[in-house]
Structure 1
Amino acid sequence: MSLGEITNIIQRYPLLTEVLNSVHDIVLILDSERDIVYFNKKFEEFADNFNLKAQLGVKPGTAFNCIHALDERVECGDTSFCRYCGANKSITESKKGVKSLNECRIAAMHGHAFNLSVSASPLELEGQKLTLYSIIDISAESRRQMLEKIFFHDVNNIVNGMGMIIDMMTDSKNSNDIEEFEHSLDMLKITMTSLKNEINAQHIVSLAEKDELMVHPENVSINKIIKEVVGFIQTTMCNSSVEIDTVLAEPEPLLYTDPVLLKRVLLNTLKNACEASSAGEKVSIGYRNIKDHVLIYVNNPTVMSDKVKSSVFKRSFSTKGQGRGIGTYSMRMLIDRYLKGKIYFTSEEGEGTTFFIKLSVSSQDLL
């Protein structure tokens, strides 16, 4: 049955559409091909706020601008990533006549990400088997909980480290070991720098989440930024047994961007690469000049599983445990939304995992 015929059936039930338009949840009705044949006013408002597609005849992933539904060769529900999607699971269960409730994380275009609670129920109207699809946006609550967990977790670790260093300084002072005292003092300075970095990082992400982050672009040396990032990681974060190889291009382009935000993204990217690597392995960071763009890359030898690859850039996903998933999400938000660039990755056997950051050298993109 055509889209028009199914929408005509739904319109013959004005009480149903009146009720669906009166609820505070997003409600969609899908046909047997998973296409949207009805959406309520709440979805129209939500779509308008986030530049989504409030259209009939499209799949839910397309409507929500899911990055995995952008490939025109495949449809929402058919990609390799869809097998791990909670929304897709709900639809599949509904088509079997089973009511379901799942959580869905969507990485969308323009740096947006959604945490959704999705329920699906079978619905039959005049012999047509449909799916009643109810969606609650839980992004704000998930975001608040995650930021709190990350901040307190990281700060607590650093403060505990500072306490241990102070104890070492006390012992060396009591034993008049000046050399050990000075070494502990240097370690304390490094730890305090890490604490300051964590606080600044959380502040930047918090402002970006609320669309209150100001961009301050200037002409910057990409070589200088990479060297500073590598130096900071080697001093404060990275396992000393992991080698960092720096590859700088010639000639060096003059990059017009916000150095603070770019450095924040590169710190996250390089830190993740180091943490994913084992002792004796090599992590590479560098860039290539491509016409009027700079392509920065960070590579590590570890290959992601398909399940991990499907969740990269989603707000609450992390390989580090519950409540630790903001690294790649914040990287994408800052690059896409604020630096007007693109970030993507590849992860293949024999090549490892590489994150790419593509930025324009032109000032026009940030004006």
Structure 2
Amino acid sequence: MSSNQKSEIVRTKSGPIYSEPETLCSSPAHISDSSSQLNVPTVVESPDNKIRVQHERLFLHDLLNSVGGLHGFLELMSENPDPVKIQKYIASSLELCDSLIEEIQSYRQITLAENGDLKVFKNDVNSLELLKSVTMKLENHDVSKGKTIDVSPNSQPVPVQTDKVLLSRILINLMKNALEATDVGGSVTIGSKMCDSKNKGQSGHRMGSGAGCDCKGSHVSGDCYPVDFIRFWVHNDSEISEDSKPYIFKKQFSTKGENRGLGSYSVQLLGEQYLGGKVGFVSNKEEGTTFFIDLPVRIPDEKN
């Protein structure tokens, strides 16, 4: 592979290669005898390759969960003649199919984005309608059970020119992360606010800073926008630990256990590199956590 090729995702003409770490890199104990006889060099797993494997394992984990659930509902339908129950199983199966499609599309987008092959399509988007659409998609999701999702009443229908599919993906990932961090009986709020350059730089770590327009004191890469922009934000009542904050947007970092969690990483990848935005968050014990993405009202031309 040449030095200018990216190594995080292994691809062929037929698509990505899915494999467990053992199949990609055998341990020396497994290959020492055969390698000495066949002069096969020992393969050393690089950090980039390790991260790629974690990414693939996460994708397969979620995919198999959805397929397993779908198989279970199909079995129930084949064993139960009750038409009422069959209709219920069909509805649940359709939801799982939607989840499968969502997982596959998400993985494909991240893979294309990492390779620099993702295309951006400009759409005229109504910010309030988008918030409602994202909320509806997650209301019946497993991660939302026993929890409340609210659209902030202060959100206004701001016209934005951006890639609707990518922005939806970003907001869905932020919402899923917030819902996973929320206990049963809790709530997650999503909203948007039109901001101008005069409104940024107010106070720092409080819920108002995430839902408002200022960046001071927040975890955001680079400077805030010097021009008018729109902020989309997602809030929940839990706090991110100080030890975790510097690593939130790292691909290899997860608060959900081994090989879990690419939501924040993909939010920054898609939001900053492809939509020309700024992604950040504020978090404290008193008022919880607010993630946000600041976007120019028109998508940068160089990402056509």
Structure 2: gaps (5+ residues): 7-43, 197-227
- The amino acid that maps onto 2:178 is A
Aligned residue number for residue 284 of structure 2 = 348
Aligned residue number for residue 255 of structure 1 = 160
Q: Which of 76, 84, 89 is equivalent to 1:184?
A: 89
Deviations 1:260-302 (A, max 9, x none): 1111111110001001100111110011111321111101111
Q: Which of 105, 112, 134 is equivalent to 1:200?
A: 105
Deviations 1:320-362 (A, max 9, x none): 1112242211110111100000110011012101101101112
How far apart are residue 213 of structure 1 and its match? 0.7
Give the TM-score, by structure 2 length.
0.72
How far apart are residue 363 of structure 1 and its match? 4.2
2:95 matches 1:171: no
Relative to total residues, which structure has the larger strand share, 1 or 2?
Answer: 1
Aligned residue number for residue 60 of structure 2 = 152
Aligned residue number for residue 283 of structure 1 = 188
Instruction: Indicate conservation of the 8 Å contact 1:191/1:236, yes or no.
Output: no
Aligned residue number for residue 329 of structure 1 = 265
2:152 matches 1:216: no
How far apart are residue 237 of structure 1 and its match? 3.5
Aligned residue number for residue 162 of structure 1 = 70
Structure 1: gaps (5+ residues): 1-44, 50-135
- The amino acid that maps onto 2:103 is E
2:248 matches 1:312: yes
Structure 1 residues 357 and 168: alpha-carbon distance in aligned structure 2, compared to 1, 3 A threshold: same
Structure with greater Cα Rg: 1
In 2: Cα distance, 1:251 partner to 1:224 partner: 10
Deviations 1:164-208 (A, max 9, x none): 1112212322xxx11111011000000000000000000000000
Instruction: Indicate conservation of the 8 Å contact 2:138/2:144, yes or no.
Output: no
Instruction: Indicate conservation of the 8 Å contact 1:237/1:271, yes or no.
Output: no
Secondary structure of 1:358's match? strand
Q: Any residues of structure 2 matched to 1:1-367 within 5 Å, and which?
A: 138-173=46-81, 177-249=82-154, 251-291=156-196, 292-364=228-300
Structure 1 residues 250 and 161: alpha-carbon distance in aligned structure 2, compared to 1, 3 A threshold: closer
- The amino acid that maps onto 1:359 is L
Between stretches 192-201 and 303-312, larger displacement belongs to 303-312
How far apart are residue 138 of structure 1 and its match? 4.1
Between stretches 354-363 and 333-342, larger displacement belongs to 354-363
Secondary structure of 1:232's match? helix
| Structure with more relative contact order (C-alpha pairs < 8 Å, separation 6 or more) | 2
* Structural RMSD (CA): 2.1
Secondary structure of 1:215's match? coil
In 2: Cα distance, 1:153 partner to 1:364 partner: 35
Secondary structure of 2:190's match? strand
How far apart are residue 232 of structure 1 and its match? 1.1
In 2: Cα distance, 1:138 partner to 1:212 partner: 23
Structure 1 residues 244 and 277: alpha-carbon distance in aligned structure 2, compared to 1, 3 A threshold: same
Instruction: Indicate conservation of the 8 Å contact 1:249/1:289, yes or no.
Output: no
- The amino acid that maps onto 2:134 is V
Structure 1 residues 311 and 137: alpha-carbon distance in aligned structure 2, compared to 1, 3 A threshold: farther
Secondary structure of 2:243's match? helix
Give the TM-score, by structure 1 length.
0.60
Structure 1 residues 337 and 248: alpha-carbon distance in aligned structure 2, compared to 1, 3 A threshold: farther
In 2: Cα distance, 1:162 partner to 1:353 partner: 34
Secondary structure of 2:113's match? helix
In 2: Cα distance, 1:319 partner to 1:235 partner: 24
In 2: Cα distance, 1:240 partner to 1:334 partner: 28
How far apart are residue 224 of structure 1 and its match? 2.0
Structure 1 residues 148 and 346: alpha-carbon distance in aligned structure 2, compared to 1, 3 A threshold: same
Structure 1 residues 210 and 250: alpha-carbon distance in aligned structure 2, compared to 1, 3 A threshold: closer
In 2: Cα distance, 1:256 partner to 1:152 partner: 34
In 2: Cα distance, 1:315 partner to 1:180 partner: 42
How far apart are residue 238 of structure 1 and its match? 2.6
Aligned residue number for residue 108 of structure 1 = none
Q: How many residues align?
A: 232
